[in-house]
Amino acid sequence: MGWPEQSGEARLTSPQEPRRRILPTGRRFLWLPVAGGVAGVVAYTFVFGESGYLRERALRRELRSLRQEIHALREEAKELHGVVRGLQEGGVEIERIGREQLGLVRPGEVTYRLVPIRPHGSALDTLGPAG
């Protein structure tokens, strides 16, 4: 055991302990900007990169909306399959479409048409004078 002096400081060392080199104050923290730069690049890539957090969040939102759209389209497809089945079997569905969309009636049926009343007069005023 000795008392070696290094940089003006006295220090006790043992034979098993390796000697540590004391860096000048200016070089001691040189690694901080490098480590900060590396951490910044990693953080930027994690957040804004092609497979980063923001991209993944946007893709999850899009996936959720696409799943909702798929569900709505499947429901619509079920309804359309019911309409097609009704048209193929004939009968009620064809009659409903004929009555609602085409204004058709069966022979011998009497149809009634309701005319809305106007606020300034009655529907009979539009027919003209009875003569």
pLDDT digits (tens, 9 = 90+) for 35-67: 888 888 888 888 888 888 888 899 999 999 999
**Is the pLDDT higher at 16 or at 58?**
58
Q: What is the predicted pLDDT for the residue at 124?
A: 55
Report the C-alpha gap between 26 and 14 in whole angstroms: 29
pLDDT digits (tens, 9 = 90+) for 60-104: 999 999 999 999 999 999 999 988 888 888 778 788 888 888 888
Q: What is the predicted pLDDT for the residue at 115?
A: 86
Q: At what angle do helices 31-48 and 53-89 cross, to 10 degrees?
A: 10
Q: What is the predicted pLDDT for the residue at 69?
A: 97
